[in-house]
Structure 1
Amino acid sequence: MSERLSLQSLPAGMKPGVDPRELTVGIVHLGLGAFHRAHQAVFTERAAAITGETRWGISGVSQRSASVRDQLAPQDSLYSVLTRGLDSPAIQVIASIREVLTAPEDPDAVVARIADPGVSVVTLTVTEKGYRAVTSGGLDLSDPEIQQDLAGRPPRTVVGQLAAGLVRRAETGAGPLTILSCDNLVANGPFLRRLMDDYAVAGQHKMTEQLELARFPASMVDRIVPATTEADRDEAARLLGVRDEALVVAEPFLQWVIEDDFAGARPAWEQAGAVLTDDVAPWEQAKLRMLNATHSMLAYLGGLRGYETIAEAVRDPELAELAGELLAYDVVPTLTPPEGLDLTAYGTSVLERFANPALKHRTAQVAMDGSVKLPVRLLGTVRDRLAAGAGPRFASLAVAGWMVYVATGKDANGRELPLDDPQATRLREAVAKAGPGAAGLVDALLSVDTVFDEQLAADQTFRALLIEGVTSLQRR
């Protein structure tokens, strides 16, 4: 067993780009998963290394378990990013995360850090389900956790944490805050602002003035970050010379597009390669509808065929062809490309990135949380094509793949397909009540109004395409 990664044990040639002992906390990040550590934290470290600014250390908040805290604490909060491309792997030690808070253990500490006058930016990667929104886009005020936060307990939800932090900032004169969502949601900044407004109204909240001063810029993030394995940790130990229990793995590609709308100071992320723009929407739509939608399609269709990774699925000639047809015939006609982005070339690059054999991104991992991913990844494309009088055959096949994945629970080899979804109970109940045949399954799942709105569920063209897709998949 190698010695554990720490400031003292790290070989001289592997030192991070900034000295962590010089950094003070200026950013709070909610949702301290692998993606943040391989994306925003990397941009933040690069910006600090270029500019020499030391005020942008990150206080990372784990919303559920203490596992990330327990991994990082013995390592002086250092970790490494193992980049896997077609060439030899590369590794870099990152020091931008300066502390880890665990919300269930100490919710007051999270609020106190958001209210810290030294903090001017809060970023979020809490996944779609972490926002606790209803299908229409507002806050789910019936959610028991939201209700408890509104009742005054130390907050456990991200909306409750932000609200309590804003209230305390108002009390102490800490100044305005920029709250930057980095999740795969359409217009994620305005979306989060609406949730905060709903929370303020429901709680007759004292944060109204601070909410008016806050900014909620939209952003688009892109990097494939598969789950880390023990084999990855062993390889990292060989490259580093020390053991890193907090290792994350990523592809070489790295992109961040941010709306330039901040309430105060921020890191010089543009110097680290981020794009600052007045309009994120075209970039965001292209990524959600091209990369994320194709990812989901390959996860469901590939998972059903028994493929364990996305790379295996996209090397199946039939699935690769279907993914290409989804992009060409259903998605691209719905998009207005931002200046400088060739949609056809981008689509080709997406499939090439998915085929990277060094990234073992599991189909089961991508298939998680389908009930909240489908509306933002695929159903917008379906609606736009239907409105244009076209039949979205390939987007509908991807949705049909999700339906069969949910209903079958097994792949072509008889292995279990886990249903890891915040609405798993409701989905299982719908499947249990389904009528006979493909039409019965389609109608049962279309009735889940937290996934499909009334107009889309009633569209006969969409229903017919789903029945056709489910029938073909069940035959296989």
Structure 2
Amino acid sequence: MTSDSPRTERPPVRIVHLGLGAFHRAHQAWYTQVANDAGDDAGDAAGGAAADRNGWGIAAFTGRTPDAAVVLAAQDAVYTLIERGAGGDSARLIESISVACDGGDEERWRDAVADPAVAIVTLTITEAGYRATGPASAGVRLVDGLRARRDAGAAAIAVVSCDNLPENGAVVRDLVRGLASSDPALLDWIDANVSFVSTMVDRITPATTPRDREIALELTGFADAAPVVTEPFSEWVLSGAFPAGRPDWEVAGARFVDDIEPFERRKLWLLNAGHSCLAYLGLLRGRATIAEAMADPVCRDALEELWAEARPVLPFDDSELDAQLAALRSRFANARIEHRLVQIAQDGSLKLPLRILDVARARAGAGLPVGVAEARTIAAWIIHLTTDQARDPGAAALAASLDLRAAEASAHAALALLEPGPSHVGPAFAAEVVRQLVELLSTGRFTATTTETQGVR
């Protein structure tokens, strides 16, 4: 698909974003572009001020370094979005980011959030970013911007977290309220004027390569130094109020729901858990990407077993789950999206409690048998920790102490790290982890040459 040259006229800034990166440009900025192209008038429908008929522009601020803003600003914040399907690439120019800004420019940030025309602040920070402290941290910057908005007398605003963690709106709300608690007047203003919206986001966005820049030029005729590559699939589920209006993101497929928790659980237990399963088993079998793991019958069968164990504890009917799983099979098998297992395998000690142990707890609570596939994923992670591919600071002490010749001790130590305090998965699940660990180590279900070079102990 060929796109016209970038327009010089840009939509007025109505959204401020923190965390300018590839995912934001493949997801929220894309949804906003589609809404703008449709000529949205969602402000009245969203219960706020009428939307600007000239569209919704984004002032996008970088998180840690100004690099992304420098590159984008040099090309008027226009960039190419390449959708990489199994059958080929398509591309379009995205112009919803009206201005790309250095996140370190505190005065510009405050002015942007305080602007009365701005109705929404969106965030893509990552889990670790919410725990960061200091003047440059996301929470401090957000409170600083809201204080400036209060001082400017601007109207109510929605803060929308687009990060991959459960109840992200509540997480941001608690972070902001905690940081503002030393200023009771500001805290009262936030409680009265700021809506915190929770969202579930999903779109795989691999790193851009030099070849992708060539493809962007071939498809659009636009010499783009910062194209973004993503899969054709995207999903966005939102829950919360937009007191000053919002774009008509529905035209791009966004869903607005009263309760987002079931959708978060579905993503964690199907997509994210599936990624973890393929990552740990796939790496042990010498695979490098999700698509390679999907092509391996051992990994694929383990994934299907994992999904089958999650189905009875998810609050969706069979038709919706069938559609979701069909989409996941297609996405995971798309070899043209290089989603690398080493990246997915990082920080398992933070990810596995939500992705795997929560399913085990739900099955135990429902009186269902122990999930063998969940236990196998934990066992594969334990082995992964003993390889030189492991990147899991939260499990560094555990990894240093593991001796896989003592499978029972290794399994119990790993479960104690994942579930500190009283166990809710139960002794039967722990016993199954031990059994799966022994089986993986003894039956050769991962390649010996790979584990030898990775230094399995």
The answer, yes or no, to whether TM exceeds 0.5 is yes
* Partner residue of 1:455 out of 406, 422, 429: 422
Task: Give the whole-Å Cα distance in 1 for the aligned partners of 2:80 and 2:67.
Answer: 16
Pick closer, same or farther for the CA change 1:396–1:23 going to 2, 3 Å: same
> What is residue 126 of structure 2 aligned with on the other side?
127
> What is residue 271 of structure 1 aligned with on the other side?
251
More off after superposition, 426-435 vs 58-67: 426-435
SS of residue in 1 equivalent to 2:205: coil
Pick closer, same or farther for the CA change 1:295–1:12 going to 2, 3 Å: closer
Q: Is contact 2:357-2:425 (8 Å) kept?
A: no
Pick closer, same or farther for the CA change 1:167–1:69 going to 2, 3 Å: same
Task: Give the whole-Å Cα distance in 1 for the aligned partners of 2:89 and 2:425.
Answer: 50
Mapping for residues 278-293 of structure 1, pairs under 5 Å: 278-293=258-273
| Cα drift, residue 44 of structure 1 | 0.3
| Cα drift, residue 457 of structure 1 | 7.5
Task: Give the whole-Å Cα distance in 1 for the aligned partners of 2:186 and 2:319.
Answer: 40
> What is residue 360 of structure 2 aligned with on the other side?
382
- Residues 1:398 and 2:398 are matched in the alignment: no
> What is residue 372 of structure 1 aligned with on the other side?
350
- Counting aligned pairs with the same residue, the percent is 37
Mapping for residues 299-338 of structure 1, pairs under 5 Å: 299-329=279-309, 331-337=310-316
Task: Give the partner amino acid of 1:161.
Answer: R
Pick closer, same or farther for the CA change 1:446–1:106 going to 2, 3 Å: farther
Pick closer, same or farther for the CA change 1:15–1:396 going to 2, 3 Å: farther
More off after superposition, 349-358 vs 49-58: 49-58
Task: Give the partner amino acid of 2:77.
Answer: S
Mapping for residues 146-225 of structure 1, pairs under 5 Å: 146=133, 148=134, 155-201=135-181, 203-204=182-183, 206-212=185-191, 213-225=193-205
Task: Give the whole-Å Cα distance in 2 for the aligned partners of 1:157 and 1:312.
Answer: 37
Task: Give the whole-Å Cα distance in 2 for the aligned partners of 1:370 and 1:108.
Answer: 38
Task: Give the whole-Å Cα distance in 2 for the aligned partners of 1:72 and 1:205.
Answer: 39
| Cα drift, residue 20 of structure 1 | 5.4
> What is residue 341 of structure 2 aligned with on the other side?
363
SS of residue in 2 equivalent to 1:326: helix
SS of residue in 1 equivalent to 2:432: helix
Task: Give the partner amino acid of 1:328.
Answer: A
Q: Is contact 1:71-1:245 (8 Å) kept?
A: yes
List runs of 5+ in structure 1 lacking aligned partners: 1-10, 133-144, 149-154, 410-416
> What is residue 152 of structure 1 aligned with on the other side?
none
Task: Give the partner amino acid of 2:422.
Answer: Q
Query: What are the Cα deviations for residues 327-349 of structure 1, in whole angstroms up to 9, with x where unaligned?
Result: 112x11111117x9521332132
> What is residue 68 of structure 2 aligned with on the other side?
68
> What is residue 35 of structure 1 aligned with on the other side?
23
| Cα drift, residue 194 of structure 1 | 2.5
| Cα drift, residue 61 of structure 1 | 2.1
Task: Give the whole-Å Cα distance in 2 for the aligned partners of 1:379 and 1:108.
Answer: 44
Query: What are the Cα deviations for residues 414-452 of structure 1, in whole angstroms up to 9, with x where unaligned?
Result: xxx151x4xx1x42222223455223333333343xx42
- Residues 1:445 and 2:414 are matched in the alignment: yes
> What is residue 136 of structure 1 aligned with on the other side?
none
| Cα drift, residue 248 of structure 1 | 1.1
More off after superposition, 301-310 vs 393-402: 393-402
Q: Is contact 1:407-1:428 (8 Å) kept?
A: no
Task: Give the whole-Å Cα distance in 1 for the aligned partners of 2:266 and 2:151.
Answer: 41
Task: Give the whole-Å Cα distance in 2 for the aligned partners of 1:36 and 1:271.
Answer: 18
> What is residue 414 of structure 1 aligned with on the other side?
none
SS of residue in 1 equivalent to 2:81: strand
Task: Give the whole-Å Cα distance in 2 for the aligned partners of 1:456 and 1:81.
Answer: 46
Task: Give the partner amino acid of 1:452.
Answer: E
Q: Is contact 2:2-2:220 (8 Å) kept?
A: no
> What is residue 397 of structure 2 aligned with on the other side?
429
SS of residue in 1 equivalent to 2:386: helix
Mapping for residues 109-148 of structure 1, pairs under 5 Å: 109-132=108-131, 145-146=132-133, 148=134
Task: Give the partner amino acid of 1:227.
Answer: A
Pick closer, same or farther for the CA change 1:408–1:280 going to 2, 3 Å: same
Task: Give the partner amino acid of 2:126.
Answer: T
Pick closer, same or farther for the CA change 1:378–1:241 going to 2, 3 Å: same
TM-score by length of structure 1 reads 0.83
Pick closer, same or farther for the CA change 1:361–1:458 going to 2, 3 Å: closer
Query: What are the Cα deviations for residues 288-311 of structure 1, in whole angstroms up to 9, with x where unaligned?
Result: 211121112112221222211110
SS of residue in 1 equivalent to 2:74: helix
Task: Give the whole-Å Cα distance in 2 for the aligned partners of 1:107 and 1:457.
Answer: 45
> What is residue 142 of structure 1 aligned with on the other side?
none
Task: Give the whole-Å Cα distance in 2 for the aligned partners of 1:157 and 1:431.
Answer: 30
Q: Is contact 1:128-1:373 (8 Å) kept?
A: no
| Cα drift, residue 130 of structure 1 | 1.9
CA RMSD of aligned residues (A): 2.4
Q: Is contact 2:3-2:93 (8 Å) kept?
A: no
> What is residue 209 of structure 2 aligned with on the other side?
229
* Partner residue of 1:49 out of 13, 37, 58: 37
More off after superposition, 178-187 vs 42-51: 178-187
Q: Is contact 1:163-1:207 (8 Å) kept?
A: no
Pick closer, same or farther for the CA change 1:114–1:371 going to 2, 3 Å: farther
Task: Give the whole-Å Cα distance in 2 for the aligned partners of 1:252 and 1:181.
Answer: 22
| Cα drift, residue 286 of structure 1 | 1.4
Q: Is contact 2:364-2:425 (8 Å) kept?
A: no
* Partner residue of 2:12 out of 24, 43, 46: 24
Task: Give the whole-Å Cα distance in 2 for the aligned partners of 1:188 and 1:197.
Answer: 14
Pick closer, same or farther for the CA change 1:62–1:368 going to 2, 3 Å: farther
Aligned residues: 428
Q: Is contact 1:218-1:258 (8 Å) kept?
A: yes
Task: Give the whole-Å Cα distance in 1 for the aligned partners of 2:441 and 2:214.
Answer: 40
| Cα drift, residue 41 of structure 1 | 0.4
Task: Give the partner amino acid of 1:471.
Answer: V
| Cα drift, residue 70 of structure 1 | 2.9
